[in-house]
Structure 1
Amino acid sequence: MSASLSASEITRLQSALRRLLGSPELTVNPAPRAGMSVELAVKGEVIGTIHRDDEDGDVSYAVNMVVLEEDLPRA
């Protein structure tokens, strides 16, 4: 299912996500090691991962974002 992303894909995906999410400080970072997921970060803090799916010739990207309860504002 998941394949590694090329440098060109990372650049294009970063541009698209910055535009879609309205965050110029968002970065898409290459996988830290072979076989790992590409990382999604804001201001250098990793907030999730991005997986590439090229099943049946249709390419899509899935973003998995993690928000820790300790990062939420108090109720």
Structure 2
Amino acid sequence: MTQAELAAVQTHLRKLFANQRIALVAPSRRNASVEMRIGEEFVGTVHRDEEDGDVSYSISIVVLAEDLAQLN
């Protein structure tokens, strides 16, 4: 993803979830996954998909079982 795409997707996610702490972090190597973070916490990855000229972005969110145990 380009820097412009990262900025646009990040802005959209911040508005959608009403959370200014959401940050998309560009990978250090080409074609690696973009990290989605909330504050210092890694929450998932963002992937760009282009098919037949249409571009979309998908988010995979990670929930660790150990994090669920902290809620009880």
TM-score (norm 2): 0.90
Q: Quote the RMSD (CA, aligned, Å).
A: 0.9
- Could you report, residue by residue, the CA deviation over 1:27-55 in whole angstroms, capped at 9, with x for unpaired residues? 01101322310110011221100000011
Q: Does 1:57 align with 2:62?
A: no
Partner of residue 30, structure 1: 26
TM-score (norm 1): 0.87
More strand by share: 2
Higher RCO structure (Cα 8 Å, ≥6 apart): 1
Partner of residue 71, structure 1: 67
SS in 1 for 2:9: helix
Q: Structure 2: any 5+ residue segments left out of the alignment?
A: none
Aligned residues: 70
Q: Structure 1: any 5+ residue segments left out of the alignment?
A: none
Q: Does 1:41 align with 2:37?
A: yes
Pairing of 1:2-41 with structure 2 (within 5 A):
5-41=1-37
Distance (Å, rounded) in 1 between the aligned partners of 2:61 and 2:50: 20
